[in-house]
Amino acid sequence: MKRLVLFCCLSGCAQVAVSSAPAKKSVADVTEATKHAQDAFWSTLHDGRYDDIGAVLDRLQAAYLQQPNDPRTAAHIAFLHIWRISERTRQTSVTATITDDLMLARRYFEEAVRLAPDDARFAGFLAATTMSEGKIHHDEKLKRRGFFAMKDAVAAWPEFNLFTRGYAMSGLPHTDAHYAQALDDQWATLDKCTHSQVDRRHPSYAPFMAKETREGQERACWNSWIAPHNFEGFFLNMGDMLVKNGDPATAKEIYAQARLAKAYPSWPYRGVLERRIADANANVARFQTPGSDPEHQIMANTSFACMGCHQTR
C-alpha cells in the first residue's frame, strides 16, 4: 500500500512538473547566419537542386540549434526532409532509411505548429506527415490523429489544405474510398477558388483567370513567389489523379487548364504535361499499377513531386 501511495505521489509530481514547465515561445531569428541559411533554402528549392538538400539542411540545422524558437527555420527543415523523400526516385539507390526523412519532417512541422499555431499551412503539413508516419509504423491511432488534425487544417484554410489532403492520399489504390475523397478534394479546391461549382465533365478555368490575387487565403489558388508554378502543378496533379481514376477524357481537359497560366511558357515541366495529354488513355493502366515504370506514375510518385510547383528553371 505504501508503495502504491508513493507511486501515485511521484506520478502526480511528474504531471505537475511537466504541466508547469514554461511554454516554448516563438522568436523570429534575424541573425545573418539564419538569413544566409534561408536564402540558401529558397535558391536551392527554386533551382530544383535536389543534390544540395543535405548541405542546406546542415546550414538550417545550425541556425535552429542557435535559435530553436523560430517557426520558419523549423518549417524549412521539415520541407527539405519532405522534398528529399518525396522525390527519392532521383536517387540511384534508395535505402530503407529514407523513411527517417518523413519522421524528421513530422517532428519539425510539430515544432513549427507549436511556435506558429495560427499558420494553417504548417498544420496541414503536420497532419499529412502524421498520417504518413502512421502508415509506416502500421499505427492506426497515429493515422487517425493525423486524419482528424487534417480536417481542422482544411477548415482553417480550405484553399490550401484541400489540395494538401488530396495530394497526400493520391498514392492510395484507385479503388480505395479515401482515393475518391482525395479526388473530391481537388474539385472542392476549384469550387472554393472560383466561388462556383466547376463543371465536372467539361471544366474550364478561363472565366476565372481575372480573379488572380496575391492576397488573403485565395492566394493559394494561384502562382506566387513561394510556388512560382503552383497553378500549373495543381492541374498536372489533378489530371494525373483523374487518369488514375479511369477518366482520361476529363483529365485531358483538366491538364489543359495549366496552359492558362501566364508563367506556363517558362514552366520547366510543361513538356511533361503535354505528354500527359497525349498519353492519357495509355496512362490509365500505368497509373493504376503500383511499382510500374517510374516515368509513368502519378505526380506524387515522381521526381517532380515538389518541383512541379516550386522549380523556376
C-alpha cell at 219: 492566394
Place of cell 526523412: 101
The share of the chain scoring above pLDDT 70, in percent, equals: 95
- How do the domains of the chain map onto residue ranges? 31-89+97-156, 176-203+216-313
Classify domain 31-89+97-156 by CATH architecture.
Answer: Alpha Horseshoe (1.25)
Say yes or no to pLDDT of 51 above 90: yes
pLDDT in tens, 279-306: 999 999 999 997 767 778 999 999 999 9
Split at pLDDT 50, 70, 90, the class of 72 is: very high
Number of H helices, E strands in the chain: 14, 0
Split at pLDDT 50, 70, 90, the class of 25 is: confident
- What's the confidence (pLDDT) of residue 201? 93
- What's the confidence (pLDDT) of residue 271? 97
Say yes or no to pLDDT of 97 above 80: yes
C-alpha cell at 263: 508563367
* Cα within 13 Å of Cα(205), Cβ side: 25
- What's the confidence (pLDDT) of residue 20? 72
pLDDT in tens, 124-135: 999 999 999 999
- What's the confidence (pLDDT) of residue 292? 63
Task: Give the residue, 80 or 4, on which the prediction is more confident.
Answer: 80
Across the chain, mean pLDDT equals 94
Whole-number Å distance between alpha carbons of 245 and 183: 9
C-alpha cell at 259: 496552359
- What's the confidence (pLDDT) of residue 8? 61
C-alpha cell at 123: 498544420
Q: What is the mean pLDDT of residues 112-132?
A: 98
Of 26, 28, 54, 27, whose CA–CA distance to 41 is shortest? 54
Whole-number Å distance between alpha carbons of 47 and 10: 54
Please count the residues of the chain: 313
